Amino acid sequence: MPSPNPRILIAEDESGIADTLQYVLKSDGFTPVWCATAEEALAQFALEPPALAILDVGLPDLNGFELFKRLHALPGGAQVPMIFLTARSDEIDRVVGLELGADDYIAKPFSPRELVARVRTILRRSGRGQAPAPAAVPTPAAAASPQPFALDVERMQIRYYGRALDLSRYEYGLLRLLVQRPGRVFTRDELLQLVWDDASESFDRTVDAHIKTLRAKLKTIAPDVEPIRTLRGTGYALNEELPATP
């Protein structure tokens, strides 16, 4: 049974913003856990991974991007959706956050209710604390994954040449989509619509950034294999002719 009160970790040094977030999250049935420093956030996360984490980029003791990396490295961290909250709205900051694998990026000032709505959408899609989302693309039972890949939808896990991949939620969503339809070319717009929570808030470079990090992870297992094809100006597809061994 899903938890009726998903635990939300808030790493935010401004007490006024933290109070507002705690109030709206509690009002919507969540259990917020406020941490004023990155050190405290790391301790709380290690104690019990939350359903979702909201990270302020400008924390006093550690940059929010570095905190993201450290949380991601903790047991279970790669499976926890994370949102960056910051006063900076430059595109370069958004790109850095998205390249790291963040699930969303919200600039201050923001609507607390809009943030809670995004939290609900992300949790619904990720299946953490709420009912799992349906598959984005129906796959016929006869459609088998290419041999090097083993897809376990129930565990939200993908193995590549026998090794489990440590993927962020969007990396998993992208690879799952490609593995389910080998050879099928997905445009960037299609990938945004099928994988991301709110495609209108994202852009083409978001897809490119996640494909880049996904390829890097695949390379660590099979350096000489190119499983993802790029069709310039169009999008991406999974290579149908992959070797049985790396």
Q: What end-to-end distance do the CA atoms of the chain give, in Å?
A: 40
Identity of the residue numbered 32:
P
* Residue 68 within a domain: yes
Same domain (yes/no): 122, 167: no
Same domain (yes/no): 74, 174: no
* Residue 207 within a domain: yes
Same domain (yes/no): 34, 109: yes
Same domain (yes/no): 102, 157: no
* Residue 63 within a domain: yes
Query: 56: which 2 tokens?
Result: 């302020």
Spatial contact of 200 and 121, defined as CB atoms under 8 Å apart = no
Same domain (yes/no): 19, 115: yes
* Residue 155 within a domain: yes
Residue 188: give its domain's CATH number: 1.10.10.10
The one-digit pLDDT tens for each residue of the chain (246 residues) are: 344 689 999 999 998 889 889 988 988 889 999 999 999 999 999 999 999 999 998 899 998 889 999 998 898 898 899 998 877 655 555 666 666 777 888 888 778 888 888 898 888 877 655 433 333 443 333 334 567 999 887 788 899 999 999 998 889 889 988 998 888 888 888 888 778 766 455 566 788 899 999 999 999 999 999 999 998 878 999 998 889 888
Across 99-117, b (16+ Cβ under 10 Å) vs e yields bbbbbbbbeeeeeeeebbe
Same domain (yes/no): 87, 193: no
Same domain (yes/no): 98, 160: no
Q: Structural domain tally of the chain?
A: 2
* Residue 224 within a domain: yes
Query: Running DSSP on this structure, what letter comes out for residue 78?
Result: G
Domain boundaries, position 19: 7-126
| Among 101, 121, 123, 122, CA closest to 212 | 101
pTM for the whole structure: 0.54
Residue 98: partners with Cβ closer than 8 Å, 6 or more residues away? 105, 202, 205, 206, 209, 210
Same domain (yes/no): 121, 170: no
